Structure formats: C-alpha cells, structure tokens
Structure 1
Amino acid sequence: MQNADLDTARESTSGHVDTPPAGAGGDGIRPAALAALRALVGRQDADFHDGQFEAIEALVAQRRRALVVQRTGWGKSAVYFVATKLLRDAGAGPTILVSPLLALMRDQVAAAARAGVRAVSINSANAHEWGSVLEQLRADEVDVLLVSPERLNNPRFRDEQLPALINRVGLLVVDEAHCISDWGHDFRPDYRRLRELIAEMPSGVPVLATTATANSRVVTDVAEQLAAAAAQHGDTEPVLTIRGPLARTSLRLGVLRLPDAKARLAWLLSHLAELPGSGIIYTLTVAAAEDTARLLREAGHAVHAYTGQTDTDEREQLEGQLKRNEIKALVATSALGMGFDKPDLGYVLHLGAPSSPVAYYQQVGRAGRATENADVLLLPGVEDEAIWTYFATSSMPNEEKAQAVIAALAGSDRPLSTPALEAIVDLRRSRLELLLKVLDVDGAVRRVQGGWASTGQPWFYDRERYERIAAERLAEQRSMVEYERTSECRMAFLQRALDDDTAVPCGRCDNCAGAWYPVDVAADAAASASASLDRVGVLIEPRAQWPTGVASLGVPVKGNIPPAERLAPGRALARLSDLGWGGPLREIFAAPSPLAGDASSVEPASPRGGDAPASPAMLAACVRVLAEWNWEERPAAVVEMPSRRHPQLVGSVAQAIAERGRLPLLGTLDWANGGPSGGPGGNSAYRLAGVWERFAVGPELAAALQEYAGRPVLLVDDIADSRWSLTIAGRLLRQHGAGAVLPFTLALQG
C-alpha cells in the first residue's frame, strides 16, 4: 500500500462524486469504516477525504462497481483496504488486487501488514512461496491476494487455482486501471483480460478500479468496460465514478531547454547536490540511465541505475536505499513508475521527455506526496521524438503477422512455443509476445501448457481502431511538445491534459513565478560530461547458437555453432541508444521521425540516413576503440563487409583502420544469390535465413586470405543488429583460412 495514500489529514481534496450513491445503509457502516481507517493510518484524528467514504459505501453497503480517479496521495489504497476489512468482517471472501509492478506490490503488502490486513502476492519473483500462499488461501488466512495481470493468464494458475478463488472472492480491485484502456498512456494487453475476469465473478461482487492518470476518454472507456462486464449478470446499475481535482500543490514545475546531452549532463553534475533530499532522475532508455548513473557516481554522487534489466533482488535493494535516503537518486527508466512509494521524495528530473503529458504527470506524481515542496524539472532532448515513435507503434498488431500466427497455430496439432513461432512469423521475440497477448485477449489464441494454441474463433483486424489509437498517440506527442513550450501555468496544462476542469494557475511553476532553477554550468562539469560522452567501445557478443527451427526456412543448421565457425568477441564504436556517440550515429542510421519538419517539433530535423565517408572525429574515435581493445592477438589484416546503404561510410572506416593500423586491406566480401534479403527488425530465424548463402569470397580475397591463413582478421561493417550478417560472413572467412574473425562496427543496435 502506498503510504502517502493514507495521508488522511483533515485538509479536504474537494473531490466530487459524479454519480452520488443512494443511502443504502451508508450511515450504518461509517463508524466501522472510520475505525478501520484510523487503525490503518495509526491516527485517532484521521478522517475521510471527500469521496473516500462514498467509494467505501458503494463497495461494502451497495456492492457496486466504482471507478476512482484521484491524484497520487489522495488515499485510493485506503479505500480498498478499509473496504476489505469491512467485507471480511462481514464474512466475505478475500480481495483480489490486480497490481502491475513488483515495487508496488511490495509496498502494498508491507503497509497492509502494519494495518493488520493479511496481504500476500503471487508474482514472478516469489515462485518459491506460491505453495504456501495457496495453502493460506485454502485456510482462509488471506485478506488480500495481489496478482499481476500476466499471472492471471498463467495456464496453471488460470485453470487450477483461479476458478475456486473467483467463487470465493469478496472484492476485486484493479489498480492503475488506465492500463485497461487502449487510450491509456500505459496500455497493457494483459489488463484487457480483466473484463473477462469481472464477467466470470458471481453476481454481487463489488469491483473497484483506481488510477491517478486518466483523461475523460480513458475514464469513459474503463467505466464502459466495467459496465459491460456487469451487464452479463443482468446488472444495469451505472458505474459509480468518483473523480477529484488533480492539482499537486506541493510540486514546483519547470522546463530547462539545453542544446544537447552533454549540456544536460553538465547541468546535472553542477546542480544535483543542490536539489532537495533524494529523488528520481528519469531517462527514456536503459543506456541513458546507465551512462548517466556512471557519470554521476564517478563525480562522487551516491546514485544507481534502475531499469527493466536490473535484477529483481537489486531493484528491491535500491528501492529500500532510496526510501531510507541512503542515496541521492535513482537514475531510472519507466520501470520505476506506477505506485513507487516514497512520501518525502524531494525531486523528479527528466533527461528527455515522456511521450505525453499524461505519462509525465504520472511520473512526476512520485514527488512531494507528504512534503510541502518538491521540485520537478524537465530537460527535453532532441532525440526524444525518435524514441516516442518507436514505443508508440510497438503495441499495434500487424494484420499480416497476426494472420500468419493464427494460421500457424490453427494448422498445428500441438501447442507451439514462442521460439517455434519465430521460425514461422518474422517478428522479434518482444513484438511476437506482445502480438500473442493481443490475439489472446481478442480470443483468437490461448496460452496453454507448452505454448500457444488456436481457439478456432474468427479474428478481425480492427484497422479503424488502431489508426485512431495511432493518431491519438501522435497528438499526445505534440501535446508534450506544447507543454515544453507553453508560457501558461504548467500544472494547469497537465490538469487540462487529464480533462480536469478545476485547473487554475498554480503560482509556483517557472511560468507563474519565474525560473526557480539555476541555468549555469560549471566549467569542470562541462569537461567531465564531455569526457564521459566521448567514451568509446562496446562489446559485440558473438553468436553461439543457431535459432530454433530454421530448417523450415531452408537453413540446415541447429544447436550450437561449432567453435571453429564462430566469431571472436568484437567491438562497436557505440550503441545507437548511447548519450555520446549514439547521437551522431542515430543521425546516420535512424529513420525520420513523423514529427520531423512539423511546426511542433522540438528542433528542425537533421538530414538522416545518407551515405558519406565518416568524419575525421568519428574515424579518430574508431582508432581509439582499436587502441583500447584488449585482444588476444593483434589482427593481421582488414576485410570489408559489402553495404547497400552505406558503402562510402564502411569503406572509409575500413581504409582508415588499415592505414592507421598499418594493416593490409584484403578486400570486400561479394554478394551471392542476390545478396541479403529482408530488413532490420525481424527475428533471429528470419534474419539468419535472409543472409544464409548470400555472401561469397571472390578469387582475389580468397588468395589474400590464404596468404594470411590462420591469422586474425578484422571484419568491418556499419552496424551490428541481429549479428547474423557478421556471423555468416565470419564463418565464411574462417572456412577460407582466416584465423579468429574480430567484428568491428560503428554502431550496435540496442
């Protein structure tokens, strides 16, 4: 439970109840509800905020379905814990609380224990406890069971445990309910299954959906889904919607526009120590979080990176350190988002903007929940648009790919695993898994033991719906740019973005009261930031296994790649997502943003994707990578990969490396059978099939390789993405006598 949600000071939030509940016994439960609230917060003077008791009354006395949309810190978790207490005292079964994040679950379980509410969770991080949890449920020793929406579709849990639990459930709570809606800023396909779960529950079981970040479209959508599920039981009573003002009076908002990543990091180095207390520094990518945290630690700041790639145990440890003010900041991606509870968080900074004002409001809501003042500063980046574009389209199913998945499953006499489907449908693992979830929610496929199976139900590609969602995402991006540029009150702008008609100027933000943040950058900080961003060299891990099922694509290999045919570990100048050299490389490799050239763009788009020789600075950086490369044996020669998009670029790099390393440039591999097919972004099976037998060693290169037989060779290319082009080219070079083949590229995707 979120501690600040239990901040029940007598200052009212002036929330309003859109649909007032009928009396129906409300006065009778108020004394017990107030006693439960006071036990929960440990204060005998605590009282309900406007709307809190109305929600509890609707759930407990009237067994209704309610949607609560209130700012962070209002007390949403107090509603469902008090309601649970009253329902359990009346003999009801346990509450099922659907919660999206492990960090949020941990807070809720800990706070429930302090309040005498017995809460347990079933999630991916505590599989060793599931048996004990199920025993407690059978013994009726659990008041609240927290589960993730993904866990609800685990075949064993769904088929063996969930039916019995549904028959006993006393209350269903859907936390962060905006995730249910396609229009929500953080839509998740797994959340859409909750409509089916609600429909399966016995008649009369109350349902509570809560969120702090929903505009009118999302509120309407969620309420309609709750009502539609209830209507299947003949319940036509409207969903009670309790919605209050979203202004956060403790937050002081600001936007500081700086020219580039170096300037943003230099500002952070100059002023992090001046920020109040401890806080969160948000970035848009994992690489940015790690790079920023490293730079700040080297400057003596107690900070750590926190991303989706951070180990679960380490995440819990880092959360605890931040809560105890043992560190100055966590540099985090959105993995540290919904529900993270630190009431006295002093600041939230963003190095790069989220893709919508609604998402931004959700993240800045972590700060100032139990303090009078907290600082919120956005430092937007010119690369933000490209990142927004990628994530805006990642959840949209592709009709052709979807039909291919359905056909493959329908034509199989057994379930197919995700790796097996990769040999049938050219989608990367993450995209394929997301598509399967969408098709599962739509009823076309079903997750079963051993993989996925067809349901035989027809599936319709709702093109109009997806086009409307895509248009809405683009409108949200433009709105975020407007937030950065507005001269109006920033808090009022965010409130209006969430359709809060109570918005008035806050009197605190940089537009209302003037810039409250310093704008200067210390000279030594600028030098440190520049040096950090100029770091070069990223490991390219060699492929060690062939993808599953590629024989069906005409590639006769399986299992491990023989050591004699593998690449040696390689190097890239930088990742495309890096803050330093990633920027210039993105200019070369990235596709134009949909906002490029639009009047609402952060800055005019630079020309991208052209072919030209590498700049002197980039060539010098490449030479530094080689100088720092701790290889077992120095390369004896250089070989160039053929390139359709960047022949001048690759040629210039190969030539410069050969000249400065005093190495012979043996030549370039040739195309075979028309050269590689397909494009970037597919999965390993298809990427391998697209380059299999598509390279050749010409006579001159073959003769040169024989001259250097058994000696290491440096293989130069522009970008390493799937690494299959490099793997097949390296295998071919080794078959023609080369010793170790060390790949070198300018960019590494990721």
Structure 2
Amino acid sequence: MTPPSVPTATPTQPDLRTRAEEILRTLAGEGARLREDQWTAVHALVAERRRALVVQRTGWGKSAVYFLATALLREQGAGPTVIVSPLLALMRNQIDAATRAGIVAVTVNSANLDDWERTYAEIDAGEVDVLLVSPERLNNPDFRDRVLPRLTASAGMLVVDEAHCISDWGHDFRPDYRRLRGLIADLPEGIPVLATTATANDRVVTDVSEQLGLRSADDRSAAAPRSGQPLVLRGSLDRSSLRLAVVTIKSPAERLAWLASRLDELPGAGIVYTLTVQAAEEVAEFLRSRGFAVRAYTGKTDAEERLDAEGDLLANRVKALVATSALGMGFDKPDLGFVVHLGAPSSPVAYYQQIGRAGRALERAEVVLLPGQEDREIWAYFASLAFPPEPLVRQTLAALSESPLSTAALETRVDLSRTRLEMLLKVLDSDGAAKRVKGGWIGTGAEWVYDRERHQRVAEARKAEQQAMLDFLATTECRLVFLRRQLDDLDPTPCGRCDVCTGSVWTSEVAAEATAAAAERLQKPGVEIAPRKMWPSGMKELDVPASGKLKATELAEPGRAVGRLSDIGWGMRLRELLAGPDQPVPADLLDAVVRVLAGWDWAQRPVGVVGIGSRTRPGMLDHLARRIAEIGRLPLLGALSPIGERPGTHENSAQRLAAVWSALGPAPDLSGIDGPVLLVDDLVDSGWTMTVAARAVRAAGAPAVLPLVLAQAG
C-alpha cells in the first residue's frame, strides 16, 4: 500500500463546518443539520487530529461523525479510515450509509473470502475510503502479518465501533478487541482515533479510554477539551419515544399466551428477545402457529438466513423477529415499534442496549419486560463461562510451545470448554503471552501476570448488575431514571412515560384459551438427540484408543429426550427433578415419556430395554427403565453398571470422553437380539456417556440402539 499524500492545509472552521453540513445532507437528507456535539467531535478529529471517545445513545448519529470525518480527511489527502466493527449486520448498515454519502466502503470478513485480494488491490490503489474489519480479523495470522502493517502505516483514521466490547467490565466483552491496544500504539503520530458506544457507565468509559490509549489513567475528566488532549463526549441517555413497562406473570405458558394475545396491539414491527436459543425457536414456532408472521434469529442462524430475516423486519414483512442477543449491536431500523423481553437480561446496561433499538424515528415505541422465574438460573450459567482460574491459565501456558497446537489438541491438555479456551487464548494473545499462527497457537515465553483482583472485581460487578436488574423489576421510581443511573447518567428528571410515572400498566390477565394453547405447545414432549459420529481429536494423549469417525457398527441412532433443561416448557420441571433427591420418576414425566415413544417414527419397533446405571440417582434410573419396559411390554435386558469412582466434572469433549471411557461395566449379553434396543438414561449432556454405552451395547449384539432420556442439557 502506498503512503497517503501529505494532507493539505485544514480549511478554516466555518468552511470546514459548511462542508461537513453539505456531506451530512447527502448522508441523511436535505433537512439534516449537525448537532453541536457532533460538530465538536468532527472538528476534534479533522482539524485537530485528536483522539476521542463518544458515548451517546442509540440513534444519536455516531456513524455520521466518522463518515463525515472520513470524507473531510480524504478531501485533505489522508488515507482510508479503518473501522473495527463487531457484526456483519452492522457492517452492512455502515456500508449502505457510507454509499449514500459518496464514500467507498468495503469489508473484509469471513463471508467474502473470494473478494479479499481484489479489496486489498483497491486499497493499495487508493480507491477505498473506508475498510471495515471485525476484531476477529485482527488476529487472523495472514491479515495480521500481511495486511495490518500496511493499514497501520497508511490509515487516515481509526474507528473502534461498539468500544465497550474492549472492556471486560462491559456487557458484551470480546477478547479480540484487546488487540486494538497494540494497533493504536503502532499508529503514526497525528492519526485521529474515534471510539464509540451507546452503553457504557463510568467504569467502562475509564477502562476503554485507558486500554485504547485515549487518555492517561490519571486524566479522568471529561471537561472542555484542550488542544492536543483527548476528547470524551457523553450525552443524555434519555429516549423520548420509549414507554417502558414490566409485566409480572408467573408461568411460562401464561407469559407466552400474553405475548400472543397482545402482539397485535403492539405498534408496527419489532423484536421479541429471549435469553436462550431454544426459547427463541420455541416462541417463534408457537407464534407462527397462532397466525403471526415471525422468524427466529439466534447465534445458530446461518449468515444468509440472518440477512434474509433482517430484510424481512426492515421491510415490515414480519411482525417480529424472535431473537437472542445475537440481534443487537448495529441493527438499524428507525421505525422499530416495540421491544418485548421474555426473560430479563442479567444487566441493566445490556437491557438498555437492546431496548435502544426501538423508536429512533417514532414518537412512541412500546418496551415491555416479562421476567421469568428461570432467569437467575440462566444468568448463573452464562456467569460460569467467566475467565478461568489461575491454575487452568498456567496449565494452558505450560501446554504451549514453539510448535503450533490447535485448539482441539489443547483440549486434551487443558480441561476448558471450547468457548472458554478460545476466549483465554485470545486474551493471552493480546497480552503477548501466546500467539495465533498458521496451524494453531504457540507460546511466546513472555512473562504473564494473572490479575486475580481484577477478575474478582469483575465477578462482583456482574453480581451487582444482576441485583440491579432485580431491583429494576421492583422499582417504584421512574424506570428510565433507574436505567440512566446504572449508566452513570444522573439526570433525576422522570420520563413521564413509563408505567411507574403514568400509573398505566399492561394487564397481566390472559384468556384461558390462549393459556391452554401455550401450555399445550410447551408441554409437548420430544426433542431429538443427534448421535455423536466423530471422536475428539488427540485422544491418545489421554490413553483412549479412539480416533476419527465412529464405525457404523458403533453408532447409535438418533434418540429422544422429553425436553431440554433450557426449555421454557419442560425445562424447569426437569431441572427440579434432577436437582432433587433420588426418587421414582413422577407420573407426569412418565406420561411424557409415553407420549415421546408414541410419537417416535422409528424404522423398527424396539425389542427390549437396557438401562444405564447411575451413582447419584440409581433408584430413579432403575425405576425409569423398568416402567418403560412394562409400559411398552418389552423385556428389560439388563443395565450397564457404573464402575470405579464417579468421574469428575469436565468441560470439554476430550476430557469428558476420557472420564467415561472406562466408567461403565460391560453390557448384558445381547446375542440373538433381532431388533433395536432402547438405551435409557436420565440426562444427556455432552453425549459421551451415551456414545460409549451405545458402542458397548452394539458390541454386545444389538443391531441398533435408540437412546431415550428424560432431559437433554443445553
């Protein structure tokens, strides 16, 4: 990439503002005018080449600041702007907005691999004004080593969008953002840097400022900027269109029925947020059965389907997207009429970020929260994915050497789930203790200090945020004042619009027919269990003789569970049962098992039942296997009894398989069996106990195995 030409002299302030207003009108329409604080930010970036952090509510116009600054800097001969942006949806919106302003914007991401070389050539030729990259791209070895140095040397401005992601105090921490510290440190003198976010309290603002080098640790003030000093702009978080309300309804069926009964009353098109993928899919399916045009949108939705669903919502072809937090940052629909939460997010800050999607260009938008009894359990699960304790970090560092190891290979050496291990490796990489290279990860040998106090403070902050969310549900003060205070906006002025201010509340009453329909849907048992087909990599390291694909003679057939522990229907009932004492399976769950069996479209009816013994619930498992055999009029062929000590709790597939490989006794003799057998257990979590048991049952003579369990984790 050729260095940019030397910038021409900066126009005088009146001329610069006039030109900025002209560009703004091409971006936002003839009636658009710069706000004073937008102009303050643009002037600091363009005329003074300063660093700035802009914390402003969703819809304020943060993207206008960096596109205007880009256009003005490019007119002065500066190089292209590099925007680090966290989501493909956000990148698409940003490219559309840039195009309207006559700015040539391109992106390099995992969805356009075939375009990369052409994009790099266009950047080299000076034909690109804006390059959007994901934070994950910064750690791609090829991009980091081949492209990033040239961009750093020639960039006209760096923009860090959704900058709260760099802070582990933030509600959406992403370790890849940590690499930005090094990127900013390598920028030539005088290159402006802009960080933006809509959701950051004082703690996050300070952390982001320090990590990005926007200001020194002893410069906390956001006073009027002096020339050469970083600029921190924070505005009011009030949203005059939002009507906040909380509706407390006890049961999941009643909450779902309430939504189906009220959805037509909500204005326009909107978003229904759930806390889990399964809940989003269940709710969307039920609403469709009630005649509503809705689609599910989760982290498991593939990229093309996500784009299609976003298009449907933008064009009002659907009433709502039923979404997890995967639909959040960067989704821009100014006329979004409502946001409903089925389940409370674990943080008021995260909640504010999500409701900020609504009502940007409307006089009124409805925001309704329906908390659930299961919310705290879901919060606890996500909290369990926090930064690992020091012994596991040290174990990971010890496993790394000069020879690259894949993440899968590291799993045989470190007992961390794939998600937590990848997060840890990215943090170690950004801290210089590890490095991602082609073929995996290596250690650098650099000294690394475990900041135990910080991790403890973050954990305590998370607990405080959860308590604050519970307090929000019960508050008797203005709900928007409460939320603003959580983001350190201390304006005490009541909004005058929420249910507390107006005394006008949504009724919690639900028609009996709607509740019955929701209950029928939620209580419909039956979840398919996909069998494991591949052994984890590197099992020889753990003395387990298994590799590659499972043989056809070892495989189980697709199985069935009554429900998932995370289901909004059966989930709570199953969690209570499995957390309780060893006891016979209750009648309602036995009835559910019978309904699962009745609806199972197996190729051949099973000819017998085999149980999997349990150390913790032997009575329950024995009762379940016997009753299934009695109800199905099938012989009870025996059980695989647990042997040795109880395997410890393990996080990843390799460690879990190693723990259960020799933990079950031999299968009963099944020679002469001429059909499939039901293999019965209480819970499928990772699936490796069932896989090892099914392999043993197949080896004992069963031609096929049909797994049947009460619950599936996840």
* Residues 1:738 and 2:707 aligned together: no
Q: Indicate how the Cα distance of structure 1 residues 156 and 135 shifts in structure 2: closer, same or farther if over 3 A, else same.
A: same
Contact 1:226-1:239 within 8 A present in 2 as well: no
Task: Report what 2:610 is aligned to.
Answer: 639
* Residues 1:39 and 2:26 aligned together: yes
Contact 1:249-1:506 within 8 A present in 2 as well: yes
CA distance in 1, matches of 2:490, 2:188: 37
What one-letter code is carried by the residue in structure 2 that aligns with 1:215?
N
Structural mapping, 1:480-519, within 5 Å: 480-519=469-508
Contact 1:247-1:503 within 8 A present in 2 as well: no
CA distance in 2, matches of 1:331, 1:305: 5
Contact 2:242-2:367 within 8 A present in 1 as well: yes
Contact 2:83-2:161 within 8 A present in 1 as well: yes
Contact 1:227-1:236 within 8 A present in 2 as well: no
Where 1:162 maps in the other structure, the secondary structure is helix
Task: Report what 1:77 is aligned to.
Answer: 63
Where 2:135 maps in the other structure, the secondary structure is coil
* Post-superposition offset of 1:221: 1.3
CA distance in 2, matches of 1:611, 1:251: 49
Structural mapping, 1:286-365, within 5 Å: 286-365=277-356
Q: Indicate how the Cα distance of structure 1 residues 229 and 554 shifts in structure 2: closer, same or farther if over 3 A, else same.
A: farther
Structural mapping, 1:11-160, within 5 Å: 26-43=13-30, 45-160=31-146
Task: Report what 1:604 is aligned to.
Answer: none
Contact 1:199-1:229 within 8 A present in 2 as well: no
What one-letter code is carried by the residue in structure 1 that aligns with 2:389?
N
* Post-superposition offset of 1:33: 1.5
Task: Report what 1:260 is aligned to.
Answer: 251
CA distance in 1, matches of 2:12, 2:329: 34
Q: In angstroms, what is the RMSD of aligned CA positions?
A: 1.8
CA distance in 2, matches of 1:424, 1:440: 18
String of CA shifts for 1:570-617, please: whole Å, max 9, x gaps. Answer: 11111111111112112234xxxxxxxxxxxxxxxxxx3432222110
Contact 2:390-2:450 within 8 A present in 1 as well: yes
* Post-superposition offset of 1:47: 1.8
* Post-superposition offset of 1:61: 0.6
Task: Report what 1:522 is aligned to.
Answer: 511
Contact 2:563-2:712 within 8 A present in 1 as well: yes
What one-letter code is carried by the residue in structure 2 that aligns with 1:529?
A
What one-letter code is carried by the residue in structure 2 that aligns with 1:35?
E
Task: Report what 1:175 is aligned to.
Answer: 161
Structural mapping, 1:706-725, within 5 Å: 706=671, 708-725=672-689
String of CA shifts for 1:433-490, please: whole Å, max 9, x gaps. Answer: 1111121122111001111111111122111110000000000000000001101100
String of CA shifts for 1:60-107, please: whole Å, max 9, x gaps. Answer: 011110011111111111110000000000000000011111111111
String of CA shifts for 1:624-644, please: whole Å, max 9, x gaps. Answer: 101111112111111111112
* Post-superposition offset of 1:738: 2.1
CA distance in 2, matches of 1:115, 1:714: 64
Residue 658 of structure 1: which of 625, 629, 632 is its match?
Answer: 629
Which piece of structure 1 moves more, 62-71 or 631-640? 631-640
Task: Report what 1:568 is aligned to.
Answer: 557
Task: Report what 1:610 is aligned to.
Answer: 581
What one-letter code is carried by the residue in structure 1 that aligns with 2:480?
M
Q: Indicate how the Cα distance of structure 1 residues 24 and 87 shifts in structure 2: closer, same or farther if over 3 A, else same.
A: closer
Where 1:495 maps in the other structure, the secondary structure is helix
Contact 1:640-1:668 within 8 A present in 2 as well: yes
* Post-superposition offset of 1:519: 2.5
Q: Indicate how the Cα distance of structure 1 residues 133 and 348 shifts in structure 2: closer, same or farther if over 3 A, else same.
A: same
CA distance in 1, matches of 2:288, 2:684: 29
Q: What is the aligned length? A: 697
Task: Report what 2:440 is aligned to.
Answer: 451
CA distance in 2, matches of 1:666, 1:245: 69
CA distance in 2, matches of 1:263, 1:671: 42
String of CA shifts for 1:385-408, please: whole Å, max 9, x gaps. Answer: 111122224131232222122111
Contact 2:209-2:215 within 8 A present in 1 as well: no
What one-letter code is carried by the residue in structure 2 that aligns with 1:481?
L
CA distance in 2, matches of 1:229, 1:254: 39
* Residues 1:221 and 2:207 aligned together: yes
Task: Report what 1:603 is aligned to.
Answer: none
What one-letter code is carried by the residue in structure 2 that aligns with 1:678?
G
CA distance in 1, matches of 2:95, 2:138: 19
CA distance in 1, matches of 2:213, 2:662: 57
Contact 1:93-1:143 within 8 A present in 2 as well: yes
Residue 397 of structure 2: which of 394, 400, 406 is its match?
Answer: 406
Where 1:97 maps in the other structure, the secondary structure is strand
CA distance in 2, matches of 1:465, 1:211: 23
**Length-normalised TM-score, structure 2:** 0.95
* Residues 1:211 and 2:197 aligned together: yes
Where 2:213 maps in the other structure, the secondary structure is helix
* Post-superposition offset of 1:230: 8.4
* Post-superposition offset of 1:430: 1.7
Residue 392 of structure 1: which of 383, 392, 400 is its match?
Answer: 383
Where 2:584 maps in the other structure, the secondary structure is coil
* Post-superposition offset of 1:228: 6.5
Contact 1:227-1:239 within 8 A present in 2 as well: no
CA distance in 2, matches of 1:682, 1:395: 13
Residue 233 of structure 2: which of 237, 242, 251 is its match?
Answer: 242
Task: Report what 2:653 is aligned to.
Answer: 684
* Post-superposition offset of 1:25: 5.3
What one-letter code is carried by the residue in structure 2 that aligns with 1:40?
L
Residue 370 of structure 1: which of 361, 374, 398 is its match?
Answer: 361
What one-letter code is carried by the residue in structure 1 that aligns with 2:20?
A
What one-letter code is carried by the residue in structure 2 that aligns with 1:711?
G
String of CA shifts for 1:8-49, please: whole Å, max 9, x gaps. Answer: xxxxxxxxxxxxxxx995445222222222222121x43221
Residue 666 of structure 2: which of 697, 710, 721 is its match?
Answer: 697
Where 1:564 maps in the other structure, the secondary structure is coil
Structure 2, gaps ≥5 residues long: 1-9, 218-225
Identity of aligned residues (%): 58
What one-letter code is carried by the residue in structure 2 that aligns with 1:274?
E
Residue 251 of structure 1: which of 239, 242, 258 is its match?
Answer: 242
Task: Report what 1:630 is aligned to.
Answer: 601
Contact 1:72-1:365 within 8 A present in 2 as well: yes
Task: Report what 1:462 is aligned to.
Answer: 451
Contact 1:174-1:210 within 8 A present in 2 as well: yes
Where 1:563 maps in the other structure, the secondary structure is coil
CA distance in 1, matches of 2:462, 2:13: 42
Q: Indicate how the Cα distance of structure 1 residues 219 and 471 shifts in structure 2: closer, same or farther if over 3 A, else same.
A: same
* Post-superposition offset of 1:163: 0.5
Which piece of structure 1 moves more, 84-93 or 213-222? 213-222
CA distance in 2, matches of 1:392, 1:58: 39
Q: Indicate how the Cα distance of structure 1 residues 228 and 212 shifts in structure 2: closer, same or farther if over 3 A, else same.
A: closer
Contact 1:56-1:80 within 8 A present in 2 as well: yes
Which piece of structure 1 moves more, 165-174 or 536-545? 536-545
Contact 1:572-1:745 within 8 A present in 2 as well: yes
Where 1:565 maps in the other structure, the secondary structure is coil
CA distance in 2, matches of 1:290, 1:151: 30
Which piece of structure 1 moves more, 277-286 or 542-551? 542-551
CA distance in 1, matches of 2:551, 2:49: 64
**Length-normalised TM-score, structure 1:** 0.91
CA distance in 2, matches of 1:449, 1:89: 39
CA distance in 1, matches of 2:58, 2:501: 23
Structure 1, gaps ≥5 residues long: 1-22, 590-607
* Post-superposition offset of 1:264: 0.5
* Post-superposition offset of 1:165: 1.0
